[in-house]
Amino acid sequence: MVSMKLFDSERRVIEAAERLATALGSDPNHTVAAAAMDTAGRIHEAVNVYHFTGGPCAELVVLGAAAAAGAGPLVTIAAAGDQGRGLIPPCGRCRQALLDLHPDVFVAVPTDDGPTLRPIRKLLPDTYFFPDADARRIVRFNKRYYDDIAAARKTSTVRYDDPIALGPAIFLFEDDEVHRTLKGTVTGVERHRLDRLTAEQARLDGFTTIEELKKGLQGHYPGLPSDAEVEFVTFTVEAPDAVQ
């Protein structure tokens, strides 16, 4: 898999985990550090608690630390090992917990091309979903859409391989230095073939023609097949003074 370009905020999460891991020294009880960012841009840090009874991993401890700080849903998480081990991927138990409690979080993992981010669902495909998790959802947008979404000029989006759930969500604007968010509701999710989207759907998504929409999607999703199955997502948003 090709590494994706990281935003500065995402790099700060990785750097925070690696910096804390370096400070752990040789304590055998604390060998991994984790950092996680919430929708307000705050970074929460924690370390594991190694114990023969199955002490918690750093990722699980940082979930508790973030919850204690009133963080809400997490956007990005990273873990790093002591003794210069650097960035490490989460274990299976942590992946399941992250998927259930923070289903829209991006997880930093090491690759041959350097650190990259994966949606948690990509790290645990075909898995069981805990039905009572009651996780708060996040929908990501490019920061250039903030004004149009806040003013309800843009009320739809087309996504590929990016499942979005119906119901309330926090709308997150990526790479936004002030970490603006909006409170909204996903009202509809319809599956269509890309080559069967209509001109009306293109206009609702802010494009003049269907050709412009397809070009925009293929720019965002390189290699997108012309007959790909995409999701046409509609949403409403509350006024900006309802931002969380």
Report DSSP letters for the chain, one per residue.
-PPPPPPHHHHHHHHHHHHHHHTTTT-TT--EEEEEEETTS-EEEEE----TTTPPPHHHHHHHHHHHTT--SEEEEEEEETTTTEEE---HHHHHHHHHH-TT-EEEE--TTS-EEEEHHHHSTT----TT--PPEEEEEEGGGHHHHHTTS--EEEESS----SEEEEEEEET-TT--EEEEEEEEEEEEEGGG--HHHHHHTT-SSHHHHHHHHHHHSTT--TT-EEEEEEEEE--GGG--
Instruction: Tell me if residue 238 is catalytic.
Output: no
Given 18, 45, 59, 174, which residue is catalytic?
A: 59
- Residues that are catalytic: 59
